[in-house]
Structure 1
């Protein structure tokens, strides 16, 4: 085995737990765990809840739009939508008059479930945000957006 030159650190860090990516993943995992637990009480998964939120803001989104907005593949979005439709929370036509996109809409039951679940999810976000000084929230959000843009997203 050849001797390898050390890879320079992206920033000063004692170990992997001090890397930004590690901390982001840790925060993401904590958020996901808290949301999974809270949403279980509403018979929803995080991707299902995310779809309901997006459809509440923008009715008529397609499977591709929902996949992008919930950070899952189109195939996974289809599975999520099938579950939501079987639960009576969305409507989705089987055919369309134009194009290939099938617009998805919330049903009254979907709106009701979303409202109940939203209360639980927003309480989790509030707990998370309350843990940092309020004056730093705007800077944190801007920094996260800047990091995302630096990665070409």
Structure 2
């Protein structure tokens, strides 16, 4: 409870701390991606397509934590700028499979280096053992919330 007996004490709330860490990570990522002409969502979309080519608009939206409408607008922009390709017509009963172009792969490679540097900076105050422990703890929290 907060000092007034209502709500959560933000100084001791792990949920609030996680949100603050997430926000700080996003700001740091946006700072290194901006000079590359990217946003975090743009980067996330390219990364998802590199790992799983042909994902649908809905799958990309879920993976990048945005709405389907936002992802559709982003995909149209990425296609227009030559980062991805989508066929004009989908196979019967299928979604339009989106794939990275060579330009998209080159852009992603630069962005990945920048994002990795942010992650290294974020973890710089932790030992390898602490990093492994943090990773396990985060996975456990996610698992508990999704399956609980």
Indicate whether the TM-score tops 0.5.
Answer: yes
| Alignment correspondent of 1:104 | 98
Distance 1:111 1:138 in 2: 30
Asked if 1:50 is matched to 2:50, the reply is: no
| Alignment correspondent of 1:3 | none
Asked if 1:74 is matched to 2:65, the reply is: no
**With structure 1 as the length reference, what TM-score do the two structures score?**
0.87
The offset of 1:98, in angstroms, is 2.1
> Residue 145 of structure 2 is aligned with which of 144, 147, 151?
151
Q: State which structure, 1 or 2, has the greater radius of gyration over its C-alpha atoms.
A: 1
Structure 1: runs of 5+ lacking an equivalent: 1-5, 10-14
The offset of 1:29, in angstroms, is 0.7
**Helix, strand or coil: the match of 1:41?**
helix
Q: Which runs of 4+ in 1 moved over 6 A?
A: none
Task: Report 1:34-45 matches (<5 A).
Answer: 34-45=28-39
Deviations 1:37-79 (A, max 9, x none): 1111110110110011111111111111111111111111112
Greater helix share, 1 or 2? 2
> Residue 127 of structure 1 is aligned with which of 121, 132, 138?
121
| Alignment correspondent of 1:95 | 89
**With structure 2 as the length reference, what TM-score do the two structures score?**
0.89
The offset of 1:8, in angstroms, is 8.6
- Name the Cα RMSD after superposition: 1.6
Pick closer, same or farther for the CA change 1:117–1:8 going to 2, 3 Å.
closer
Distance 2:6 2:88 in 1: 53
| Alignment correspondent of 1:64 | 58
